[in-house]
Amino acid sequence: MELLKLLCGIQAPAGQEAAMQEFLIEYINKNKSWWKSTPEIIQGEDFQHCIILAFGKPRTAVFAHIDNIGFTVRYNNELVKIGGPRTNSGYALIGSDEEGHVEGLLECDEDHQLTIKSNRVIATGTALSFKQHWREDHEFVQSCYMDNRLGVYNALKLAETLQDGIIVFSCWEEHGGGSVPYIVKYLWENYKIRQALISDITWITKGVQHGKGVVVSLRDSGLPRKVYVDRIRKILSDYKIEFQLEVESSGGSDGNEIQKQPYPIDWCFVGAPEDFVHSPDEKVHKHDIASMRKAYELLMEKL
């Protein structure tokens, strides 16, 4: 879990993913020599802070967004949300501005106005993230930004054995997206990719529980094609990978953006469930992490 812990501690609020991009490029270049297959690394100005890894003769693309939720400092230490973070008073926030390191406590008044209690006025436009408090035992890991550092972790572990496929590290997902359309266009025009898996994190609900395996989402606010989801379910069932099914009316992922593009690409959200969503205390069962990793290795081989 050391890699996951490290990933969860990197600040990369939506729109400011440079730190995660730099970490990933360094990690990939350091480790790719011992991976089963060496990928082509696609990045640069045409892809902003996104990274694409292309292995062998790809049929399926895995999408893992690298940004996190957070807050933007407005004026006089007022805050505006980046994405949909929980706003309980007392959450510790960190960041940096021109004067250096910033730290303070979130305050939410009865009118839901957000401020940070700090020892100085923070520069307007500064992005703040939850301060990491890592907790781990034999069953669970708990930290800020399991969503979606766990999805990134899963993609990096997948890269160790992947022979044919594409891994996409995307941006802006937590605040409405924006990178997926041009990535999908590139994947279609260069690889004719027709299948995608969304390596992201979903919620614990009355129908989804800790320790019951990875979640295959039948739908959320997006609606994947049933024939594709059924193929995924059959592969996982045939190889006895434990999984749960999810049906929700809200929430979304990079899959929603894929569905809106003018290309015939099927997608399905496959990810571990977490409790205390979008808070500093996101909690995931280790069995579900293991199930997610096994599911992705199998699906990338069989789809």
- The ranges assigned to domains in the chain are 2-68+135-302, 70-130
Q: What is the CATH number of domain 70-130?
A: 2.40.30.40
pLDDT in tens, 55-106: 999 999 999 999 999 999 999 999 999 999 999 999 999 999 999 999 999 9
Superfamily of domain 2-68+135-302 in CATH is Zn peptidases (3.40.630.10)
pTM, to two decimals: 0.97
Look at residue 244 and give its three-state secondary structure.
Answer: strand
pLDDT in tens, 178-199: 899 999 999 999 999 999 999 9
Look at residue 51 and give its three-state secondary structure.
Answer: strand
Question: How are strands ordered across the β-sheet holding 140-143?
Answer: 135-136, 140-143, 282-285
What pairs with residue 9 in β-bridges? none
Q: What's the mean per-residue pLDDT of the chain?
A: 97
**Which residues of 87-242 form beta strands (DSSP E)?**
92-97, 100-108, 114-117, 127-130, 135-136, 140-143, 165-170, 195-198, 202-203, 214-219
Q: Which residues of the chain have pLDDT under 50?
A: none
